[in-house]
C-alpha cells in the first residue's frame, strides 16, 4: 500500500505543482485587474473500464451530452488509477487523465466555468472523492471562477421514482409472466448504499418481481435469492445497474466462476439470462444524468 501511495503522489506531483504555480501567478497579477473571457466546459468523470467494447456506454453518454449542450467543450477523466495504468500499458491505447489532471489542463487552457459530472449511480465514496477534487479548483486565483458538481444518477426521491420507471421499461421483452428481473449494482459500505433498497421500494411498486441486488453492498445475493425462493421464481434476468458492462458484469454477475450471480442462481435451480449492457447504453437513463448537468449549469449561471 505504501508503494501505491508513493506512486500516486509522484503521478499527481506535476498536477499539484501546476496548481501551485497558477495560483501564485494569479496572486501576483490579480492587482492588474486581468479579466478572462468566459469559457464553459463539461468534465465527465467515470470510474473507467478496460473491458473491450464496454466503453460503448461512454460513447452513448458523450453523444447525448453533446446533443444537449452544443458548443460546450466536453472532456473525460477516469477516476480509477488502476484502470488508467492498465490502459496506459496497452499498445495504441488512448491516454486517460485523472479528474485532477483533467481539471488542471482545463484551468491552464482558460476554462472559467466547468460542470463536473460524475457517472456514478449513487453518491458514495467514489462520487464524494471526485466532488472534493473538483471543488478544490473552484475560485482559485487566475484559475476557474466556478466549478459545480452534478449529482449522480440517484440523488433525490424524484430520481429514485424516475429511475424505477426507466428500469421497469428496460426489462427484456422476452420476459414472461412469473419471471423475475434483477438489477445488480456495485454496492458499498458507504452510508449512500441506502439508495439501493430505496430504489427497490419504488421498483416493487411497479413490478413485484423486479429486484435490486449488489455485488458488495445490500441487498445481497443471499437477500435476492430468498426473495426469488419466496416467489417461486424459476427464471430471472440479470441486468447491470452499472454505467458500463465492465469487469463486474462479466465476472461477478454473468461470469462462470462459482461465486458469480449466474452460478449462484443456477445452483438454486433458477435459470438465468444475463444482459451484458451498462445503463449508459440506455438513452432514458442517460437523460437523468443530462438533467443533472443542466441543473449544475443553472447553478453556474446563478453564481455569475
Please list the active-site residues: 186
The answer to whether 272 touches 238, Cβ cutoff 8 Å, is yes
Amino acid at each position: 500500500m505504501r508503494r501505491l501511495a508513493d506512486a500516486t503522489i509522484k503521478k499527481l506531483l506535476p498536477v499539484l505543482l501546476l496548481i501551485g504555480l497558477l495560483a501564485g501567478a494569479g496572486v501576483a497579477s490579480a492587482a492588474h485587474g486581468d479579466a478572462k473571457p468566459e469559457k464553459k466546459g463539461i468534465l465527465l468523470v467515470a470510474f473507467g473500464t478496460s473491458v473491450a467494447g464496454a466503453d460503448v456506454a461512454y460513447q452513448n453518454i458523450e453523444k447525448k451530452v453533446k446533443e444537449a449542450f452544443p458548443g460546450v467543450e466536453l472532456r473525460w477523466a477516469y477516476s480509477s488509477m488502476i484502470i488508467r495504468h492498465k490502459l496506459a500499458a496497452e499498445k495504441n491505447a488512448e491516454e486517460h487523465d485523472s479528474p485532477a489532471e483533467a481539471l488542471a489542463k482545463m484551468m491552464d487552457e482558460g476554462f472559467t466555468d466547468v460542470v463536473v459530472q460524475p457517472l456514478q449511480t449513487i453518491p458514495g465514496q467514489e462520487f464524494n472523492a471526485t466532488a472534493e477534487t473538483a471543488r478544490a479548483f473552484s475560485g482559485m486565483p487566475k484559475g476557474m471562477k466556478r466549478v459545480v458538481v452534478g449529482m449522480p444518477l440517484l440523488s433525490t426521491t424524484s430520481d429514485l421514482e424516475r429511475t424505477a420507471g426507466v428500469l421497469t421499461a428496460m426489462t427484456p421483452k422476452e420476459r414472461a409472466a412469473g419471471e423475475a428481473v434483477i438489477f445488480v449494482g456495485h454496492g458499498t459500505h458507504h452510508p449512500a448504499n441506502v439508495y439501493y433498497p430505496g430504489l427497490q421500494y419504488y421498483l416493487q411498486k411497479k413490478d413485484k418481481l423486479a429486484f435490486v441486488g449488489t455485488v458488495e453492498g445490500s441487498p445481497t445475493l443471499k437477500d435476492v435469492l430468498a426473495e426469488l425462493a419466496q416467489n417461486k421464481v424459476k427464471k430471472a434476468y440479470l441486468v447491470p445497474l452499472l454505467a458500463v458492462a465492465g469487469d463486474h458484469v462479466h465476472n461477478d454477475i454473468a461470469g462462470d466462476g462459482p461465486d458469480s450471480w449466474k452460478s449462484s442462481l443456477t445452483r438454486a435451480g433458477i435459470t438465468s439470462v444475463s444482459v451484458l449492457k451498462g445503463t449508459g447504453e440506455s438513452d432514458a437513463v442517460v437523460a437523468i444524468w443530462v438533467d443533472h448537468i443542466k441543473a449544475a449549469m443553472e447553478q453556474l449561471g446563478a453564481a455569475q
